[in-house]
Each structure stands twice: as structure tokens, then as C-alpha cells.
């Protein structure tokens, strides 16, 4: 199982000092946070995509490539790549390039975005959000798996004999998570392709996300990608910790009350009860997140939002020390206990390459001679061979 952090890249005033960092400072701080995430033993760093203030991350692949050059092990992902307003051709080429630069340490989370003005800025209509997501991903999926693509759809000019470059590293497309807060159609899309489904469950009660994840698992099996338990699920989370829970609550309250997303709404106590936000001691965070699989089943990726709402860099790095040093090692052990053998680990590039090679070796020799490069990945990007034979203890 993978543990990591994600950032929404907000530039927010510290409510305890009134100081707002500049863009350059906030970007530098985010790079330091990503490096420290690897240092404390986390697996994943994910970056959102925004094109409006108060956010800075308009070009996630540029930032992730820089982080790739400064890290060795960290999986680099996006907390949202806008499948609606980005050209699928550009997504295909940018992330294939990032694969090569990072040695395969990359995947991405697709989303529609929740900022209405972004659509017309990129020549799109928000009322077409779902059809755009469906059509654009259908093209993106093909661009990574077919060397030459002919395409005609509703939302972009046709392609004739087009080859996206560079080709995916080792012939394996980046793994895709489809992120959703509320939309069952996105859960269905993830299931139909056999991709991952990331339920960013940081805003609404668990019952809402239980329904979405159950739909995804059921439809994953209906589409023939494996059992419901083999579906690839990720979850969001939020935590703020101090050795004493009362100190954590006292320190975090002004940041919560003034946060750009949920500030001036429910109380800290009410929000903590309704969502996974946990403000307290490391043991309280362990207890809360060790219980997640009781609600959602065994899952593959847990990401935490740690650096928002104006929290200063020093505080965020202290939170990462607690997360990586005290919380995640215990969660790894507890969530590994009684995990059924058929439940796959989180997809990694190395594991998916091994699965593709293993699938090739099981083919008749004549077919292998006809296709010396081996098979292209299936629509799942993993298949049942990944689900069982390609489990990796370091995924």
C-alpha cells in the first residue's frame, strides 16, 4: 500500500500572523515539502492543477519533473489533471516525457475541475464537462497504446496518422486514477477501463463515498477486470498532529476557521466528525485511518493534505516528520494484517512492466516471435496478471 501527500497549491495568508507568502516562496516551499516527503519514507507526492488565484500550480508536469530530478524513490502524481480543458494530445506527450525523465515514477489523476471560469478560458463549455471527460480520455487512452492514431470526435480537430511522442516508457502507459468527489459517471469510467478510482473523501460524509466506491468495485468486476476486491482504490485524508491532542486543536483551529475551501462553515469539531479530518495526537490519526478499510474495503493509496490554509513551512515539515515517523509505519503494519492475497498492491511502473513481460511469456512461442516487443498493456493497464502475479512488497 502507498502512503503520501497531495497539495492543492493554495497561496493563503497565515491567519496567526497575517503574512501571505509570495508565489516564488510558496513554490520553493512546495519543492522542499516534496523532498522531505521522500526523506521521511512516504511513497507519493501529488500536485493539483489550477489556473486561477490563489493557486500557483498551472503546470504540474514542469514541477514534477523538477522534483523527479531531486528525488530517487518518490512516485510523482497529480491531484488533478484537467481532462476537460487540456488537450489529450498534450497530456499524452507531457506525461510520457515525465515517465522517461523520472524513470517511470509517475502516474496521474484525472478530474474535471471545480472552477467554472476555467472552461471558457480554454475554449470549453462547463455544461459539456462530462462528455468532454469521456471523449478526451478515450483519445488519451488510445494515444498511449497505439503507435498511429486516426481520430474524430466532437471536441477537437480530427487526427490522421498521428503518433504521440515520446512513446510511453517500456511500452507501458502511465497509470491513471480517475478522481471524483461526487460523480458516479466518473466511477463508471474508471471501472470500464480498469483504471484506478480515487475518492477524494475530504469534504463529505463517508456514506457518500461508500456508494461511489461500491459502484466502482461492482462495475470493475462487471467489465471483466477482476473481482470487486481487486479494484484499485485511493482515498484522500487530512490530519494535523501534536503530541497532545489539545495542543493540536488549539494550534490548528485558526487555520481551519480561515481555510479558503471550508473556512467560515462547519465548526472544526463538526467537520472532523463528518469527514476524515483528524486533529489530535499521532495515535488518534492511526486509529482513524486504520479503520478506513472497514468503510471502504482494502485499498491501495492513502494521500493526506498537509500544507494548506496558510500553514508555515516549518509546521508542515514537522507534520511530515510525525506522519512518516510515527503514523505511516504503524498504518502499514495494521492495514497489511489480514489483507487477502488476491488484493493487489498499488500499481507501480516496475510491477506493470513485469506483469506485461509475464503475460508475454505465457503466450505460445509462435505468437511471441510475431511480436518480439511483447503485448501492449490491456485496457486495465494491469489485468488479472498484475492483480495476483505481480504483487510487489515495495509498491
pLDDT, residue 374, reads: 39
Classify residue 353: in a domain, yes or no: no
Render pLDDT for 27-69 as a digit per residue (tens, 0 to 9).
999 999 999 999 999 999 999 998 988 999 999 999 999 999 9
What pLDDT does 365 receive? 64
| Torsion on CA atoms 177, 182, 188, 193, rounded to nearest 10 | -10
Residue 390 in any domain: the answer is no
Residues with Cβ within 8 Å of 237's Cβ and at least 6 positions away in sequence, in order, are: 201, 202, 276, 278, 289, 302, 303, 304, 305
Q: What angle do CA 275, 281, 284 make, to 5 degrees?
A: 50
Q: Are 14 and 312 in contact (CB under 8 A)?
A: yes
Cell of 184: 458516479
Q: Is residue 280 part of a domain?
A: yes
- In eight-state DSSP terms, residue 79 is S
In a domain, residue 28? The reply is yes
CATH no. for residue 121? 3.20.20.30
For residue 367, what pLDDT is reported? 56
Q: In angstroms, how far is the first alpha carbon of the chain from the final one? A: 6
- The sign of the dihedral angle between the CA atoms of 81, 102, 53, 272 is positive
274 near 266, Cβ under 8 Å?
yes
DSSP state of 20: -
- Residue 238: predicted pLDDT: 95
What is the number of structural domains in the chain?
A: 1
206 within some domain: yes
- Give pLDDT, residue 370: 46
The closest alpha carbon to 311, from 6, 3, 1, 19, belongs to: 19
Q: What is the dihedral of CA 230, 112, 84, 259, to 10 degrees?
A: -140
Cell, residue 214? 461500491
Q: Sheet harboring 196-199: ordered strands across?
A: 75-78, 44-47, 2-7, 301-305, 233-235, 196-199, 175-180, 107-111, 81-82
- 258 three-class SS: coil
Taking the C-alpha atoms of residue 87 and residue 246, their distance in angstroms, rounded to an integer, is 48
Count of CB atoms situated within 10 Å of the CB of 57: 23
When the pLDDT of each residue in the chain is averaged and rounded to a whole number, the result is 90
The predicted pLDDT at position 377 comes to 35
The model scores a pTM over 0.85: yes
Its domain, for residue 75, covers 2-346
Predicted pLDDT at 79: 93
Does the residue 293 lie in any domain? Answer: yes
- In a domain, residue 378? The reply is no
Query: Dihedral of the CA atoms 311, 312, 318, 319 (nearest 10)?
Result: 20
Question: Which residues of the chain carry a pLDDT beneath 70?
Answer: 114, 363, 365-395
Strands 239-241 and 278-280: parallel
Q: How many whole angstroms from its chain centre is CA 134? A: 19
User: Does residue 373 belong to any structural domain of this protein?
Assistant: no
Rounded CA separation 375/356 (Å): 7
Count, in order, helices (H) and strands (E) of the chain.
16, 13
Amino acid at each position: 500500500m502507498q502512503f503520501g501527500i497531495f497539495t492543492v497549491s493554495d497561496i493563503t495568508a497565515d491567519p496567526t500572523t497575517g503574512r501571505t507568502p509570495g508565489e516564488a516562496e510558496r513554490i520553493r516551499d512546495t519543492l522542499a515539502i516534496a523532498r522531505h516527503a521522500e526523506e521521511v519514507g512516504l511513497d507519493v507526492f501529488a500536485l493539483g492543477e489550477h489556473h486561477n488565484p490563489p493557486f500557483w500550480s498551472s503546470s504540474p508536469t514542469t514541477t514534477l519533473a523538477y522534483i523527479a530530478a531531486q528525488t530517487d524513490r518518490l512516485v510523482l502524481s497529480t491531484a488533478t489533471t484537467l481532462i476537460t480543458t487540456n488537450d489529450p494530445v498534450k497530456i499524452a506527450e507531457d506525461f510520457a516525457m515525465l515517465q522517461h525523465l523520472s524513470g517511470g515514477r509517475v502516474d496521474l489523476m484525472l478530474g474535471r475541475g471545480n472552477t467554472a471560469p476555467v472552461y471558457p478560458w480554454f475554449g470549453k463549455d462547463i455544461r459539456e464537462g462530462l462528455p468532454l471527460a469521456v471523449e478526451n480520455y478515450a483519445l488519451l487512452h488510445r494515444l498511449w497504446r497505439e503507435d498511429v492514431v486516426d481520430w474524430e470526435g466532437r471536441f477537437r480537430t480530427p487526427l490522421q496518422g498521428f503518433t504521440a511522442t515520446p512513446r510511453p516508457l517500456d511500452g507501458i502507459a502511465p497509470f491513471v486514477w480517475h478522481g471524483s468527489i461526487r460523480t458516479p459517471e466518473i466511477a463508471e469510467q474508471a471501472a470500464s477501463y480498469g483504471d484506478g478510482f480515487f475518492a477524494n473523501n475530504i469534504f463529505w460524509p463517508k456514506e457518500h463515498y461508500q456508494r461511489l466506491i461500491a459502484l466502482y468495485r461492482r462495475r470493475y468486476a462487471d467489465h471483466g477486470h477482476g473481482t470487486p476486491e481487486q479494484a484499485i482504490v485511493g482515498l484522500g485524508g487530512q490530519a494535523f498532529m501534536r503530541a497532545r491532542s489539545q495542543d493540536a486543536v488549539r494550534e490548528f483551529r485558526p487555520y481551519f476557521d480561515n481555510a479558503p475551501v471550508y473556512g467560515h462553515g462547519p465548526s472544526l469539531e463538526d467537520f472532523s466528525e463528518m469527514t476524515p479530518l483528524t486533529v489530535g495526537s499521532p495515535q488518534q490519526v492511526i486509529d482513524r485511518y486504520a479503520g478506513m478499510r472497514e468503510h471502504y474495503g482494502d485499498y491501495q493509496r492513502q494521500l493526506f493534505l498537509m500544507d494548506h490554509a496558510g500553514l508555515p513551512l516549518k509546521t508542515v515539515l514537522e507534520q511530515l516528520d510525525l506522519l512518516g515517523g510515527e503514523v505511516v509505519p504503524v498504518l502499514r503494519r495494521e492495514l497489511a494484517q489480514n489483507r487477502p492475497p488476491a488484493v493487489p498492491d498499488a500499481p507501480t511502473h516496475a510491477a506493470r512492466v513485469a506483469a506485461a513481460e509475464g503475460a508475454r511469456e505465457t503466450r505460445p512461442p509462435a505468437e511471441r516471435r510475431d511480436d518480439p516487443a511483447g503485448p501492449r498493456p490491456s485496457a486495465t493497464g494491469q489485468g488479472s496478471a498484475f492483480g495476483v502475479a505481480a504483487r510487489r512488497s515495495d509498491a
